[in-house]
Structure 1
Amino acid sequence: MDHHDINQTRRDLLITGALSATATALPAVGHAQALAEAGTAASTPAPATGKVALRVNGRQVELDVDTRTTLLDLLREHLHLTGTKKGCDQGQCGACTVIVDGRRINSCLSLAVMHEGAEVTTIEGLGQPGKLHPMQAAFIKHDGYQCGYCTPGQICSAVAVLDEVRRGIPSHASADLNAKPLLSAAEIRERMSGNICRCGAYSNIVDAITEVGGGKA
C-alpha cells in the first residue's frame, strides 16, 4: 500500500467516525431540547382572564378576555370594529382614538378591563354611510384625508374637541379663558396635535372642524 492509499484510508476512517459521532449526538440534542421546551411550557402559567361588560356604540357587550387585552384589541379583534386603527401602538399617533364616557382616549394605551360599565363610541357609532355624522360629512366636503388611515381617530378626536370647546375647557393655546367659544385655528391645531396625519391634510382638517363648530372655514 503506497503513501497515498494510507492517507486515503485514514481520511475515510476519520469521516466515518465523525458521521457516527454526529448521528449519536443528534438524538441526544433533540431529546434535551424537547425536555427544555416541555419544562418551559409546564412552568409558564396560563394567562389571567376576566370578564368586562361595557356599552359599545349603544350595544351592551360582555366578554371574557385576557386581562392584558387593550381596549383597541377588544374593539378590533373581539368585536370586529376595525374602523379604529392600530398605528404606532404606543399612544403617539392618535389613529386609535375613541370616545369613552364623553372623553377621547388612545385605546391602544388602555386596558379593556379598566372600562367596566363604560360607554364607548367608535367611528362606527358616530355615523354610517347614508347617515353620516356632521363631522364625517365635513371631512368629506373639505378633503380632510388622503390615505384615510388616521381619519377615524381624527374624526373621533374632532368631535370630542368641539365638546371641550362648548364646555369652555381651555387648551395651552387659549389666550383668553373668558372667550366664548374657544374656537380658532390655533385652538384646533393645539387640541388636535395628538392626532398625526402623515399625508399632511391638516389645513383641510382644521377647515372641517371649524365648519362643524359654527365658524368660518
Structure 2
Amino acid sequence: MAKLQVAIDLLTTEAALELASKVAPYVDIIELGTPLIKAEGLKVVTAMKNAHPEKLVFADMKTADTGALEAEIAFKAGADLVTVMGTVDDATIKGAVEAAKKYGKQVVVDTIGVKDRVKRAKEVTAFGVAFVELHAGLDEQALPGYSVETLINEGREAQVPFSVAGGVNLNTIKDVVAAGATVAVAGGAIYGAEDPAEAAKALKEAIEA
C-alpha cells in the first residue's frame, strides 16, 4: 500500500511541530521542506524525530553537491530520508547512497528540473535509492496548463519505485495510487486546509480504499 507523506512547507520549528502533532496519526512520512530547513537549520529535523520517533522523517535537503557529506549531516540530525537532486552528477547521488548505507537510512532523488524524468528515474534507481520523487515544484505548478497527471503517467511508465509530489489532493490521490506510487506526497492539501487533521485523514482513507 502506498504511504502518505506530508510535506511541511512552514517556516518555524514550532509551526511544523504543531502541524505534525495534528496529522501524525494519518501520515507515514513527515517531510520537512527545504525552506523550513534553511530557515531553522537541522535542529528542526532533530526536534521532529524526537517528537515522532515512530514516523519516518524526511529532510528535503535538495542536495546538489557533496552528497555523502550533506546526507551524513542530515542522518546524524535524525533524518531517515534525504533528497538529492536528479540533475546532479551521478557521483553526488552515489555518495549520498553510500552514506545512507553507513547509517541504515535512505536517499530519495528529486526530479525538479530533470527534462526526461522517466529516463533519469531508471538511471538513479540502479544506484540504490529508496525511490524517485516525480516532483513539480510550486513554480512549475503555477504555470499555465500544468497537470499532476503528467507525473502520474511518468511514474506508470518508469516502472520503478516512485512518489508523486505536486498537486496531490483528494481529487488526484486515487490516480496516484492506481499508477503504483510508493508514496503520495501532499503539501498544501494538508497544511493549507482549514482542518489539517481531517484533510490528512481523508487522504489516508482514500489510499486505503
TM-score, normalised by the number of residues in structure 2 = 0.22
Higher RCO (CA-CA < 8 Å; seq separation 6+): 2
TM-score, normalised by the number of residues in structure 1 = 0.22
